[in-house]
Chain A
Amino acid sequence: MSEQKYADDVLGSSFKKIELMLQADYGISKHSIGSLLLQGDDEIISLVKLKDPENFSKIMEAVNFAKSSYNDPLSYIIAIQNQGKANYIIERAMEYGPSKGISYREKISKVMIDPLTGIPIMLLVLYYGIYKFVGDFGAGVLVNFIENGIFIKYINPLVIKIFIKIIPWEVLRSLFTGEYGIITLGVRYAVALIFPIVTTFFIAFAVIEDSGYLPRLALLIDRLFKKIGLSGRAVIPMVLGLGCDTMATMVTRTLPTKRERLIATILLALAVPCSAQLGVILSLLEGNPKGLWVWVGVITLVFVFVGFVSSKILPGEGPSFYMEVPPLRLPKLSNVFLKTWTRVKWYFIEILPVFILVSVFIWIGQLTGIFNFLTMLLTYPIRWIGLPDKTAVAFLFGFFRRDYGAGGLYDIKKAGLFTGNQLVVACITLTLFLPCVAQFLMNIKERGWRAAVGISVFVLFFSFSVGYLVNLAFNTFGINL
């Protein structure tokens, strides 16, 4: 008698024994429940313990006996048997004819995943997709058009006129149309600054996503990401983080281990600027290419350094990488627009209340003097990193939303209050600075109170330290940007 046969008999008889002992209704067949028990499915084991308590220990005895009869895990054995059945059907119902040669899609795919050609392609995709399209077109052309062409020219004067008529009280009116008013600041930022940037980013992301490029990016970058405790899979939340860190933090739940999720959350909170912020920073550093490179360099360095250190400190096993690489597809325009639309909608539902709330808070803060007090408090670390006092306001905004803060810098730069060095230091510090309120809430939701608060404290301390060091380096080496 062959031993394989003997082995099959153990499995077969174990199935029968277990099926007989299962009494409750599980919604699926007893054979399937038996199969899941034999494969060691914890969830099903506790379900059976709950539903069939009297037979439970006997059932587990049968399961363990079956397990002990094999060298390999039963899930492997059962999968092989199941595949055998599938192959039997395939042989009867499927034929392979000649295929029509290697398609051009296959060739493009090979070029994309070969590091020699793939890395330049990756840089091109990031340059044109993010820098050119989001930075130049979205944050430059569109923002300029909507803000200067529409808001400042038509909407703001109109709104101010209307409110002067309907609200006679200066104090209440400033809630809507003051320097930080709901409409003049909140709605203007949301519509004129954030909307075009976020929309262009989500269009770019949807095109990249639908084309099937992301898994190819993931496999190119896996080895690098392993160094910072992540796998190539994490490239998806990271690139998405360039759009919206809050959404990206939510997506980290698709990473397989707790450790990876935590590292990704830290990096998103600290060193991945979201599109709103990115757009404003790109336009801030416009005409200062050296400053832009310093900013890119420092942020990248921080990203790698913090990732590397946390992968060394945090307990747990290193990540493993496996991912399907789907065929390349030409993105369908209708899908790209629908996706962009759902995401922009999600984004606005998420942020518009925050924007309005911020205006209200600032209004209350100004009325009560708390705002001035906090600004004053913030001027100390601000001076410490060599920035003008007025920047403190932008940083205070940054507590609510990072792009709000960046937007504040934008206004200061327009007023000509920054030197080149100060601008770069401010951009770096604010990029690393605390995540926005929405992201903080998402951190609590996904990682829990302790981790969320811990991350925020760390980020606060770390961002100013980096700002200080960069400023120190500029002064020590006499660099003027």
Chain B
Amino acid sequence: MKLNERAEEILETLWVNNEKSPGEWMDLGLAKDNPEIDELLKLGYIKLINNRLSLSDKGMIEGRKIIRRHRLAERLFTDVLDIKEKLVHPVSCQFEHLLQEGIEDDICVLLGHPKTCPHGKSIPPGECCRKSQKDIKKIISVLSEMDVNQKGKVAYIYTKDNPTLQKVMAMGVLPGMAINLVQKYPSYVFQVGQSQFAVDKEIASVIYVRITK
């Protein structure tokens, strides 16, 4: 059965605490009379001894999944959608509960199996990450690391340098455009629409492409 949001958040808090200081039991505190605590106890996700809480093995697995969803959501909001930093966390808190199991793997694939969230905490790897290590072909790749003749669509442009961004936009390179790498050396030559452009490595390293072929 599916846990409610509140219950998921309790598991999340416990998991994060365990990540910080492994093996430590948390004070039950204000959560004392919460109905979700009883439910989680009943379902065997948590253990309660002397008013102190800890995750069971089953709870560990579930908590890990929730955290994975949360941090992937944060990555998604920062890298792909454009959401202001201070909003990323609260939005991700809501989003994680909406994600069906399995969808987070799709997001993970889309983002190219990121290792950390925008705040630098590690994202617990999923099944898809393990598979992808064998299968090197990435779904999203930076233009400078694509293979010659690989095709795709521009996913996003990521740079802190405004002039570089302006140059990329002047070429009409924007998310959604079909792009294909013609040559890598001595300069990067790519085709967007029906035009070809030559750029150096600095510019080729800010264009991220969702590979289609």
Contacts and interface: CB of A to CB of B under 8 A. Distances in A.
B196 A324 contact: yes
B198 A222 contact: yes
Contacts of B87: 3, 6
A222 B187 contact: yes
Interface in B154-195: 157, 162-171, 174-176, 182-183, 185-187, 189, 195
Contact of B198 (A4, A75, A110, A325): A325
B189 A113 contact: yes
Contact of B186 (A3, A69, A71, A115): A115
B164 A79 contact: no
Given A220-B186, A223-B186, A322 B85 contact: no
Given A3-B77, A83-B174, A73 B165 contact: yes
B187 A71 contact: no
Interface in A353-392: none
B112 to A, nearest CB: 19
A218 B199 CA distance: 10
B189 A219 contact: yes
Contacts of A232: 187, 198, 200
B164 A218 contact: no
A421 B183 CA distance: 45
B82 A324 contact: no
B187 to A, nearest CB: 4
A100 B174 CA distance: 27
Contacts of B199: 321-323
B166 A75 contact: yes
Contact of B196 (A79, A115, A321, A325): A325
Contacts of A223: 186-187, 200
Interface in A53-83: 68-73, 75-77, 79-80, 83
B77 A321 contact: no
Contacts of B81: 3-4
Interface residues of B, number: 37
Nearest to A116: B185
B202 A320 contact: yes
The B interface, classified by DSSP as helix, strand, loop or mixed, is: mixed
A393 B185 CA distance: 49
B17 interface: no
A325 B162 CA distance: 24
A231 interface: yes
A444 interface: no
A226 interface: yes
B187 A321 contact: yes
Contacts of A77: 82
A321 B203 contact: yes
A219 B187 contact: yes
Interface string A170-184: 000000000000000
Given A215-B198, A219-B198, A325 B82 contact: no
Interface in A1-60: 3-4, 6-7
B99 interface: no
A114 interface: yes
B174 A80 contact: yes
A115 B148 CA distance: 14
A228 to B, nearest CB: 14
B118 to A, nearest CB: 10
B153 to A, nearest CB: 12
Contacts of A288: none
B83 interface: yes
Nearest to A317: B163
B200 A222 contact: yes
A7 B164 contact: no
A392 B81 CA distance: 71
A324 B189 contact: no
Contacts of A475: none
Given A113-B183, A223-B187, A325-B189, A75 B165 contact: yes
A110 B203 CA distance: 21
A87 interface: yes
Contacts of B91: 3
B212 to A, nearest CB: 16
Nearest to A10: B84
9 contacts: A3-B77, A6-B87, A76-B157, A79-B169, A83-B174, A220-B187, A222-B186, A231-B200, A325-B198
Interface of A: 3-4, 6-7, 68-73, 75-77, 79-80, 83, 87, 109-110, 113-115, 215, 218-223, 226, 231-232, 320-326
Q: Which 5 A-B residue pairings sit nearest by Cβ, starting from the closest? A: A219-B198, A219-B187, A321-B200, A325-B196, A322-B199
Interface of B: 77-78, 81-85, 87, 91, 157, 162-171, 174-176, 182-183, 185-187, 189, 195-200, 202-203
